[in-house]
Structure 1
Amino acid sequence: MANSAEAIVFAALKALVPNGDGTFRVYPDVALTGAPRPYITYQAVGGQSPNYLSNNVDLQNARMQLNVWADTRTAATTLMQSVIAALTAPAVKAVTIGAPVSNYEPDTKLYGSREDFSIWFYP
């Protein structure tokens, strides 16, 4: 199976939010309705495009946006710090783009934190 930024993110973060039944609260784009909290969502939001004359791009880049959602600001901030540590660790070597942005969703009463990461990988 080809490597992808999504697979790298999922593998690095799943241990942060286990359900206890072999599944994890890490979701592409949006969480399942009624997902237990806290949880993490991710999506590719661009990246750098290396251009090679041979049109053979072995090394690729993805800008991945990570969101964490929790019942309290403290829980969201703590989980985001764990996400940063997991993605910037030597196994992934992601680079943060800016600093985390806090969020509050009044409809769901959830506290969030968002951070973008640059991840280089070989597909």
Structure 2
Amino acid sequence: MADPIEVQLVAVLNPLVASQVFPLIAEDGTTGSYLTYQNIVNSPENTLSDGISINNTRMQIDCWADDYATVKALEKAVADALTAAAFTNIPRSSRDGYEPLTKKFRVILDYSLWWN
């Protein structure tokens, strides 16, 4: 079962890529632009009096596209969508890449997501 933050994240990202948002890896046969995500670490913020008051999840979001211009546009669309999201998020880093086996351009985004 997905964490509540994963459900919220996918809901925010789905409109950007016609619901082609996948945990970890894309489904076989996926074409065009798509997104993958993975939970890097979940760190609950604990207090002695209240237990877990808020969670911080580091999430990696990978943008995939057939060309560099499209993947960079998708990176911006993800950033804009997360800025407008109902949950607090902080961009931590991004890096570009290319995967020769899939012939896809890639941008790897690292976000810190805060949620209850």
* Higher strand fraction (1 or 2): 2
Please tell me whether the aligned partners of residues 47 and 118 of structure 1 are also in contact (alpha carbons under 8 angstroms). Answer: no
- 2:37 aligned with 1:42, yes or no? yes
Structure 1 equivalent of residue 6 of structure 2: 6
Please tell me whether the aligned partners of residues 37 and 59 of structure 2 are also in contact (alpha carbons under 8 angstroms). Answer: yes
Structure 1 equivalent of residue 65 of structure 2: 70
Q: Unaligned stretches of 5+ in structure 2? A: none
Q: Which amino acid aligns with 2:114?
A: W
Q: Unaligned stretches of 5+ in structure 1? A: 19-23
Structure 2 equivalent of residue 118 of structure 1: 112
CA distance in 2, matches of 1:56, 1:36: 44
CA distance in 2, matches of 1:36, 1:17: 11
Structure 1 position 90, deviation (Å): 4.8
Q: Which amino acid aligns with 1:111?
A: F
CA displacement 1:44-87 (0-9 Å, x = unmatched): 10144412114621311101100010000010010011001111
Please tell me whether the aligned partners of residues 77 and 113 of structure 1 are also in contact (alpha carbons under 8 angstroms). Answer: yes
Identity among equivalent positions (%) equals 34
Please tell me whether the aligned partners of residues 61 and 118 of structure 1 are also in contact (alpha carbons under 8 angstroms). Answer: yes
* CA root-mean-square deviation: 1.9
Please report the TM-score for the alignment, with normalisation by the length of structure 1.
0.85
Structure 2 equivalent of residue 16 of structure 1: 16
Q: Which amino acid aligns with 1:81?
A: K
Structure 2 equivalent of residue 97 of structure 1: 92
Please report the TM-score for the alignment, with normalisation by the length of structure 2.
0.90
Q: Which amino acid aligns with 2:46?
A: N
CA distance in 1, matches of 2:21, 2:17: 7
Please tell me whether the aligned partners of residues 6 and 43 of structure 1 are also in contact (alpha carbons under 8 angstroms). Answer: no
Q: Which runs of 4+ in 1 moved over 3 A?
A: none
CA distance in 1, matches of 2:40, 2:98: 21
- 2:106 aligned with 1:108, yes or no? no
Structure 1 equivalent of residue 24 of structure 2: 29
